[in-house]
């Protein structure tokens, strides 16, 4: 029995696959106690916990700790003279026309930032050794009296030579054994001081939160008789045993969205689709991602609440557009949706839990593209009259009918999603028409056809049980670990040798870590170098085939860089300017022995009955059917509404849907 539980902002999803088939469960999340939501899903699934051999988990615990500033007291230690690095940040502004703009607030207060006397130069040589007497006499008493639970250590140029960071960590462990220590040289061994300091501070800040959450989760599982393997999803699309998160909690910040991308990629790969635009629309937000040739794009550039994180993670773009996104009118009289969300508590007005603001889910109920009796497979009571009452003030202010206001809000949400997809596709040199759109999450299939039409995409592929694909991704993902290293090297005749040496050293280190985690098997390696023309401020990632490193030449390295640089910037394909290797990233993956298969074989009748839908400013007659009841190879023309217990698929006029042998529903524009 393999089981995945993913805690989202609005719902907690469970997918279990074993000898007796597939179990799918979806329950409301418990924001204040996310593990309660996870165990509610386990209870409702009625799966005996002792029968679970593999349990993989993803949650928003780390993300919420940062966004809500609910981490534990954390200190920051750096080289003397650099105490304010977290506050000085960069000179760039995310909102250049905002006259009242202020820089993002760090998770560590200035009073909690300390300095130590030491200095390592950019070439790794030691100018001044760490003053251990000062550490014992000044720093240790300050950390002890401050009541800190964690400390982030980021010394100048430690990415080149971490000897002082390691010595400081050893000293603090001896003097303050209960203090959790995060080192920049272990979290992200790359240059750019502010980004490295920010990542290390965030890692230390969420570490106690994640540790206690996992510890509480594991103890409850064990009390219920669980003896299997418990793993946690990472932002890079792979998972690790729970004990590994004790030193790398920052990698779990985007575990839920990353699991969705992996789940969709694995499920559609069974039908032969390799180029995807994943479109995950849940209750709180929408996450979009490009998957090319079966691999999700990774990035080193990401920020949460304005604070940069420099670790390898799936390149996911998030906007505030989900089923719980609030519909409102701004001061200029313009209709807006999100980014505010009603979340799980109180939730949309239709939940009947005290929510008074209209949301996207309420708009769908008014249009009848979501039916109250079918919500969560009919297991959750929904009040459509409260949706109408909540949206009425918005409709009156806009001078619209209630149905037109609801339709306008949904079209606006579609436009926001289209813009998000354009940011990760056309603005990066990818043509979305060369990809298929893959919607999932509770609301994704409702909006997919309209979004695809606006993008010029002619095919949409909806996986089975689309509302819980993120939970499926948890058990369909491999064990993965990434490491990075900055080592600036000119691309000359010595570069191939230095590149091979760097790969060998990083490979040995990665293998040692996997042995500590007791992960066995034949790992697969991905090796990427960040490269640039000398004088450029930013790098371009260039992948190298590890099997051909022995025969790699200077010309090969130059050619690979020219190709990737031209893809991004449309120039540089034949430039003779000097090029340098800047940083290296190694991914080590232990593939699953057997990929779990997601299917959907619940009985039902196709084209059950006729239904009225409010589309494009008018009521239209459409067909209501169960998504699982579509016969493989038998197309259904829109307009139609296809329901399953986890989501609803809207098929507009001009589109047809057919189910393939792998239970994916293929929507094609005709």
Q: Where are the domains of the chain?
A: 67-211, 254-478+592-670, 483-505+527-587
Tracing tokens 């909102």 back to the chain, one arrives at: 95
Instruction: Give residue 605's pLDDT.
Output: 45
CB-CB neighbours of 404 under 10 Å: 16
| pLDDT tens for each residue of 478-519 | 999 999 999 999 999 999 999 999 999 999 999 998 888 888
Q: Which fold has domain 67-211?
A: Dna Topoisomerase Vi A Subunit; Chain: A, domain 2 (3.40.1360)
Strand 239-241 with 2-7, pairing: unpaired
Strands of 545-618 (E only): list them.
579-590, 609-614
* Radius of gyration of the CA atoms of the chain, in A: 26
Instruction: Give residue 600's pLDDT.
Output: 67
Rounded CA-CA distance 90/198 in Å is 11
Q: Could you tell me where the DSSP H helices lie in 224-254?
A: none
What are the average pLDDT values for consecutive 10-residue runs of the chain, which has 670 residues?
88 89 88 87 92 91 85 95 94 84 92 97 94 96 94 96 96 94 92 94 92 91 93 92 81 87 94 95 89 88 87 88 92 91 85 92 95 84 93 95 96 95 87 95 94 96 93 93 91 94 94 87 92 90 92 93 84 76 93 81 60 92 84 84 90 93 92
What is the residue-averaged pLDDT of the chain? 90
3-state secondary structure of 405: helix
Instruction: Give residue 604's pLDDT.
Output: 46
| pLDDT tens for each residue of 604-622 | 444 478 999 999 889 999 9
| pLDDT tens for each residue of 274-311 | 999 999 998 888 999 999 999 998 888 788 888 999 98
Instruction: Give residue 110's pLDDT.
Output: 95
DSSP, residue by residue, 3-60 = EEEEE-SSEEEEEEEETTEEEEEEEE--TT-HHHHHHHHHHHHT--GGG-SEEEEE-S
């Amino acid at each position: 029995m393999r089981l995945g539980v993913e805690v989202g902002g609005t719902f907690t999803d469970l997918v279990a696959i074993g000898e007796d088939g597939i179990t799918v469960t979806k329950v409301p999340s418990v924001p204040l106690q996310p593990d309660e939501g996870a165990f509610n899903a386990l209870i409702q699934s009625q799966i005996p916990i002792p029968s679970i051999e593999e349990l993989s988990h993803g949650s928003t615990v780390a993300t919420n700790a940062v966004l809500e500033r609910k981490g534990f007291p954390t200190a920051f230690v750096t080289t003397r003279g650099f105490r304010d690095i977290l506050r000085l940040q960069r000179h760039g502004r995310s909102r250049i026309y905002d006259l009242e703009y202020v820089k993002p607030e760090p998770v560590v207060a200035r009073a909690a930032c300390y300095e130590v006397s030491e200095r390592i130069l950019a070439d790794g040589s030691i100018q001044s050794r760490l003053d251990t007497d000062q550490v014992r006499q000044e720093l240790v008493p300050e950390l002890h009296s401050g009541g800190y639970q964690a400390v982030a250590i980021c010394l100048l140029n430690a990415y080149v030579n971490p000897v002082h960071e390691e010595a400081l960590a050893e000293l603090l462990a001896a003097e303050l054994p209960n203090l959790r220590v995060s080192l920049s040289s272990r979290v992200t061994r790359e240059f750019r001081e502010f980004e490295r300091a920010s990542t290390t501070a965030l890692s230390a800040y969420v570490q106690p939160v994640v540790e206690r959450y996992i510890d509480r989760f594991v103890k409850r599982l064990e009390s219920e008789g669980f003896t299997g393997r418990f793993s946690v999803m990472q932002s890079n699309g792979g998972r690790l045993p729970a004990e590994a998160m004790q030193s790398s909690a920052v990698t779990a910040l985007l575990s839920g969205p990353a699991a969705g991308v992996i789940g969709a990629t694995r499920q559609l790969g069974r039908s032969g689709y390799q180029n995807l635009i994943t479109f995950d629309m849940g209750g709180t937000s929408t996450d979009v991602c490009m998957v090319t040739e079966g691999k999700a794009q990774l990035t080193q550039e990401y920020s949460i609440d304005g604070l940069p994180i420099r670790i390898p993670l799936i390149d996911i773009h998030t906007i505030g557009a989900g089923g719980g996104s609030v519909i409102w009118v701004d001061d200029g009289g313009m209709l807006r949706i999100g980014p505010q969300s009603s979340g799980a508590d109180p939730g949309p007005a239709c939940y009947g839990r005290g929510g008074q603001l209209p949301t996207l889910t309420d708009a769908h109920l008014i249009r009848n593209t979501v039916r109250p009796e079918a919500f969560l497979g009919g297991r959750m009571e929904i009040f459509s009259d409260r949706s109408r009452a909540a949206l009425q003030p918005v409709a009156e202010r806009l001078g619209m009918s209630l149905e037109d206001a609801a339709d306008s809000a949904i079209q606006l949400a579609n436009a926001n999603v289209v813009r998000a997809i354009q940011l990760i596709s056309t603005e990066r040199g990818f043509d979305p028409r060369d990809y298929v759109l893959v919607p999932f999450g509770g609301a994704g299939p409702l909006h997919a056809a309209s979004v695809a039409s606006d993008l010029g995409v002619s095919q949409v592929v909806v996986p089975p049980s689309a509302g819980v694909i993120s939970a499926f991704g948890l058990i369909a993902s491999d064990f993965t670990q990434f490491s990075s290293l900055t080592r600036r090297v000119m691309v000359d005749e010595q570069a191939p040798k230095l590149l091979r040496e760097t790969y060998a050293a990083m490979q040995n280190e990665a293998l040692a870590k996997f042995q500590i985690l007791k992960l066995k098997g034949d790992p697969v390696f991905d090796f990427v170098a960040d490269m640039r023309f000398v004088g450029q401020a930013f790098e371009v990632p260039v992948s190298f085939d590890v099997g051909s490193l022995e025969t790699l030449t200077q010309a090969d390295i130059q050619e690979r860089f020219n190709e990737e640089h031209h893809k991004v910037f449309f120039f540089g394909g034949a430039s003779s300017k000097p090029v340098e290797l800047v940083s290296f990233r190694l991914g080590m993956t232990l593939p699953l022995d057997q990929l779990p298969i997601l299917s959907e074989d619940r009985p039902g009748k196709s084209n059950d009955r006729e239904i009225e839908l409010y589309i494009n400013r008018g009521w239209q007659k459409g067909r209501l059917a169960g998504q699982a009841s579509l016969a493989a190879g038998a197309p259904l023309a829109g307009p139609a509404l296809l329901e399953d217990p986890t989501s609803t698929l809207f098929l507009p006029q001009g589109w047809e849907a057919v189910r393939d042998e792998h239970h994916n529903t293929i929507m094609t524009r005709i």
